[in-house]
Amino acid sequence: MTKADLVDKVTALGDLTRRDGEVIVDTLFESVIGALKAGDKIEIRGFGSFRTRQRNARTGRNPKTGEKVDVPAKRVPFFKPSKELRDSVNPSGAKSEPINPHHPPAM
């Protein structure tokens, strides 16, 4: 689903113009981004929570040249789905095969 698809879904829910749908979606995204920039945690019951995690500085490697590169410490956004969301994506009655992280299933 793209942002345009999301705007279309919001617009279809009520008597809204496409511009109103865009404003709603943009406001939601800007609010989440603003809160993460400020270091706040966002929790949406039944969906999940957004927060930032601190990554320490490390020494990386340029894959093209093999040269060592210093990677600075940084904060990265992190999403943790709620139990309800996890359960709706993976119903308890469905059998799941173990996923090989090196060869994920084709979509």
Q: Tokens 């894959």, residue?
A: 63
Instruction: Report the amino acid identity of residue 19.
Output: R
Question: Domain residues of the chain, as ranges?
Answer: 1-40, 46-88
What is 46-88's CATH number, 4.10.520.10, 3.30.210.10, 3.20.20.10, 3.40.50.300?
4.10.520.10
pLDDT at 29 over 60: yes
Residue-wise pLDDT for 40-92, tens only, equals: 999 999 999 999 999 999 999 999 999 999 999 999 999 999 999 999 998 87
Going across the sheet that includes 74-81, the strands are: 42-44, 48-55, 74-81
Distance from CA of residue 95 to its chain's centroid? 26
Residue in 5, 80, 10, 11 with CA at minimum distance from that of residue 44:
80
Q: Tokens 């320490």, residue?
A: 56
Q: With a threshold of 0.75, does the pTM exceed it?
A: no
DSSP, res 2: -
